[in-house]
Amino acid sequence: MSAFTLVLISLVVWAISAFLWGRYKLMRRRDELGLSGPPAGLLTGNIWNILMWTKKNGIESMPYLRFEWAKKYGETFGVYIGTELEISTTNLEIMREVCIKQFSKFTDRPLIGFAEGFPLETGVLMAKRGKGEDGYGWKEMRSVVSPTFSSGKLKLMHDAIYKRVKTLAEVLVEKSVTVGELDIYDEFQALTLDVIGHCAFGVECNSLQNREDAFYVNCRKFFNEQTLDKSWAMILSAIFQIPIPGYGNFMRRHSTVGKIEDVLIRQLRKVVETRKDMGKYPTVDLMQLLLEQSHQEGNKPIMPTDRIVANCYAFLLAGYETTSTALAFTAWLLAKHPDVQDRLYEEISEAFGDKDIDYESLHKLPYFDAVFKESLRLKPPVVFFTSRKCVEETTICGVHIPKDMIVSFPVLAIHWNPDNWPDPLKFDPERFTDGKKYDPFTWIPFGVGPRNCVGMRFAEHEFKLALAETVRKLRYEMGPKFEDPLKGRIATVLYRPLDGVMVKVVARK
């Protein structure tokens, strides 16, 4: 054996040994913090557990995994995503401390390598604390975006949203005659994209009547690829979190998700440039508020085009899939519980009759509000976006939390916890009408604290307007293809139906 070969073999052995020793030390962090948790592999952490769980129980069982872990390992335990340890907890006092009382130590959202760089890390959803070179961090961007969702602005958007909701109702009434049973998830996805297109970007998509619309097709493709079992790049960037700048971004760019994302970004950038050339826009939307920051105004810094595009992209991600999923789940629940649907219909009919639905009255219907809250408790669309990254070491409720540690609050495990909600898997809107008080930290579909969902009021209004108009025009019923129980799955941070939501729609006379 030559000296060169011997040296080469020695270097390879040393590199492998150093790699494995480094992984071993990382895997000891949970024990050092005194936490329990599922056995973790040296290379994959608990990702292998997740993949094996879904292989054994089916992909539809994935929403129940954290729930089962919480029952087995207690309310606070450690989980490894690759080598990244996160503290998973359903302890409400820890949540209160992290999200409210000690928020200054938990300002950031965790960012896996797959999401680093433009556009995700540049927008308000994933931006870190502190100002970037352009003067913008998450706090500064949120102050620009927030006015879009004030009650005053929502009232101005009401007619535009209602116009598209009416189109949806007309389409469903027509399909009640031609097809009867349909995938209501597909219909609601078309609606939410049309609403976002108009209210955020000032563009007309017309997805409700044209499923071949390029923007709609690309959005569907993008979200369908956002799963661990479909995206090799997502798995690899989670398992091998290499501390090299641009590594995660490179992985994303060369994945199917990244290629579709590039198409969406080009489309959004084109809209931004067109709007810039137009000057003042006649209506106030998200893009207009962002564009107003693209030139110096008072003491506010100039917002670069990339920031504007990234925030438009963030709103697309946050508003398209989430609201459509919530509406589809609710339609399924109403079809399964006709007594709830009948009572809801009576309240809506009494409030509006044959008149158009107005903004103020829509939000004064107590039973409707109870249905909204109970649906989001039982079937929350967003289940893994409540995590926070510690930016300053602290100890909470006896749990030591080092700097850079991730603390996550699994929404399903909290919403389905019998200690928080009696008979938690039962759909029961009466929980929110019987006068009983509940801890606000047990109902977190929009997150909690200063970094909760910035578009929460917009989402609620769109949800209620769409459900009110469709329920008063037609009934959701169980047909031959109705799936019970309805299978769901986890896709990145989302909980969504596995194979659509088939319901029968029957026009009211």
Which residues does the annotation place in the binding site for heme?
Answer: 453
> What is the Cα–Cα distance from 165 to 150, expressed in whole angstroms?
21
Strand partners, 395: 400
For 44, half-sphere exposure in the C-beta direction (CA atoms, 13 angstrom radius) is 12
> What is the Cα–Cα distance from 8 to 234, expressed in whole angstroms?
32
Query: Would you state the structure tokens that stand for residue 374, as one six-digit string?
Result: 């109970």
Strands (E) across 224-275 are located at: none
User: CA-based Rg of the chain, rounded to a whole angstrom?
Assistant: 24
> What is the Cα–Cα distance from 319 to 227, expressed in whole angstroms?
18
Handedness of CA 389, 262, 143, 493 (dihedral sign): negative
DSSP structural state of residue 277 = H
DSSP string, 170-221: HHHHHHHHHTSEEEHHHHHHHHHHHHHHHHHH-----TTT-TT-HHHHHHHH
Going by the annotation, the residues of the binding site are 453
Supply the angle between the helices 305-336 and 256-278 in degrees, to the nearest 10. 110
Strand partners, 505: 476
Query: Would you state the structure tokens that stand for residue 499, as one six-digit string?
Result: 């194979």
Cβ distance 77 to 506 under 8 Å? Answer: no
Q: Decide: residue 61, CB within 10 A, 0-12 exposed, 13-18 middle, 19+ buried.
A: middle
Residue with tokens 């995590």: 387
Residue with tokens 């399924």: 332
Provide the residue count of the chain.
509
- CA nearest to 114, candidates 239, 270, 206: 239
DSSP structural state of residue 300 = B
Q: How many helices (H) and strands (E) does the chain have?
A: 19, 11
DSSP structural state of residue 89 = E
| The dihedral formed by the CA atoms of 147, 150, 153 and 158, expressed in degrees to the nearest 10 | 140
> What is the Cα–Cα distance from 250 to 247, expressed in whole angstroms?
5
Query: Would you state the structure tokens that stand for residue 380, as one six-digit string?
Result: 């929350």
For 319, half-sphere exposure in the C-beta direction (CA atoms, 13 angstrom radius) is 29
Beta strand pairing status for 84-89 and 406-408?
A: parallel
Supply the angle between the helices 151-178 and 184-201 in degrees, to the nearest 10. 150
Longest dimension (CA), the chain: 91
Cβ distance 93 to 99 under 8 Å? Answer: no
